[in-house]
C-alpha cells in the first residue's frame, strides 16, 4: 500500500473512484463483513497436489510425523478438547468425517473426561512444525477441499475438524489484520480529503473576493476567466467570436491559468 495504484481495484465506495472487485468469493467476504473493507486482501491461489511447492509440504509433513512426542501429545489434547463439550452438531460433523476411524473416535470419547472425572476443556497448542505446515498450506490455498483436509489432517496427526477450524480461524485473523490496515488507510484518506476541502474553501473565498473587485465584464465563470501572466490581458477559452459581444481586438483573451499558467497565450 502507500499509493493509489496499489489499491486501485478495491470495493471502497467513498467517492474515491475505486472500482469494485468482481471475484465472487472475495465479494462474499466483503459483504459478510460489518466493518469497512477495501477488498485488497491477500490474493490466494488454489493449487493442487501437483504444485511445485507440494514436495516441500510433504517434506514438512514428514518432519511433523517424526515429531512423535508432540504429535501424540496433541492428539491427546485435541481429543479431549474437541469432544468435551460436543453438541449435536459436532457429533454430526464428526460422523461425516469418514476417514476418522472408529478407534480414534472411541479413544476421543474415552479421553473426554479427565483423570479426575471433570469435563474441563483442554487447550490445544499446535507444535511449531504443525503450525508451519498449516501456514505453508494456507499460503497455497486459504480454503481446503475435503481431500486436502484429509491429507493435511493425516500428515499432521490431527483430526480433519481441527484442520478445518485452524483454517477458519486463520482466515478470520487475516481478515481482521486487513481490516486494521484498511482502517489506517481510510484515516489517511480522510485527513487528505479534509485538507483538500479546506484548501478549496480558501480558494473559493479568494475567488469571491476577486469577483467583487472586478468590473462587470470580467465577472465570467472563474474557471474561464483569468489574467494572462505574460501580457496581463484578461482572456477566455473556447467562446464563439461571432456570438461574443467583444471583438478579438477589444475583447480579453481567456484562458485558465489556475492549473497551467505557463500555457497562457
Partner DNA sequence: AGGGTCAAGAGGAATA
Partner DNA sequence: TATTCCTCTTGACCCT
CB of 185 to DNA, least distance (A): 19
What is the binding site for DNA (CB under 7 A)? 24, 28-29, 32-34, 78, 81-87, 89-90, 92-93, 96, 120-126, 131, 143-144, 146, 161-162, 164-173, 175
Query: Residue 179 or 224: which CB sits closer to DNA?
Result: 179
Q: Give the span between the Cα atoms of 34 and 29, in whole angstroms.
A: 10
Query: Residue 166 or 254: which CB sits closer to DNA?
Result: 166
44 burial class (0-12, 13-18, 19+ CB within 10 angstroms)?
middle
Query: Residue 172 or 193: which CB sits closer to DNA?
Result: 172
Query: Residue 1 or 172: which CB sits closer to DNA?
Result: 172
- Beta-strand pair 234-235/226-227: antiparallel
Return the closest-CA partner of residue 107 out of 140, 79, 85, 74.
79
CB of 16 to DNA, least distance (A): 22
Element (DSSP H or E) covering residue 226: strand 226-227
**Alpha carbon distances (Å) from 44 to 97, 136, 182:** 26, 12, 18
CB of 152 to DNA, least distance (A): 12
Question: What are the CB-based long-range contacts (under 8 Å, 24+) for 89-94?
Answer: 90/161, 93/161, 94/161
CB of 87 to DNA, least distance (A): 3
Query: Residue 21 or 175: which CB sits closer to DNA?
Result: 175
CB of 143 to DNA, least distance (A): 4
Amino acid at each position: 500500500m502507500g499509493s493509489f495504484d496499489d489499491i486501485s481495484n478495491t470495493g471502497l465506495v467513498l467517492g474515491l473512484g475505486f472500482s469494485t472487485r468482481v471475484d465472487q468469493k472475495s465479494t462474499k467476504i466483503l459483504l459478510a463483513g460489518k466493518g469497512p473493507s477495501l477488498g485488497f486482501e491477500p490474493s490466494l491461489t488454489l493449487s493442487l497436489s501437483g504444485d511445485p511447492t507440494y514436495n516441500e509440504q510433504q517434506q514438512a509433513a514428514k518432519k511433523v510425523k517424526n515429531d512423535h512426542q508432540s504429535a501424540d501429545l496433541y492428539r491427546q489434547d485435541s481429543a479431549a478438547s474437541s469432544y468435551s463439550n460436543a453438541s449435536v452438531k459436532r457429533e454430526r460433523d464428526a460422523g461425516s468425517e469418514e476417514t476418522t476411524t472408529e478407534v480414534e473416535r472411541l479413544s476421543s470419547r474415552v479421553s473426554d473426561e479427565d483423570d479426575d472425572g471433570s469435563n474441563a476443556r483442554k487447550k490445544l497448542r499446535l507444535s511449531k512444525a504443525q503450525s508451519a505446515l498449516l501456514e505453508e498450506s494456507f499460503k497455497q490455498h486459504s480454503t481446503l477441499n475435503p481431500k486436502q483436509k484429509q491429507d493435511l489432517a493425516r500428515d499432521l496427526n490431527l483430526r480433519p475438524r481441527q484442520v478445518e477450524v485452524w483454517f477458519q480461524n486463520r482466515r478470520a485473523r487475516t481478515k481482521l489484520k486487513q481490516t486494521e490496515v484498511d482502517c489506517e488507510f481510510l484515516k489517511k484518506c480522510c485527513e487528505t480529503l479534509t485538507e483538500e476541502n479546506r484548501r478549496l474553501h480558501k480558494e473559493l473565498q479568494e475567488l469571491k473576493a476577486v469577483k467583487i473587485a472586478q468590473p462587470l465584464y470580467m465577472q465570467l465563470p472563474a474557471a474561464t476567466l483569468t489574467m494572462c501572466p505574460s501580457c496581463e490581458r484578461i482572456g477566455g477559452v473556447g467562446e464563439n467570436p461571432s456570438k461574443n459581444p467583444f471583438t478579438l481586438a477589444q475583447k480579453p483573451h481567456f484562458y485558465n491559468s489556475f492549473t497551467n499558467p505557463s500555457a497562457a497565450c
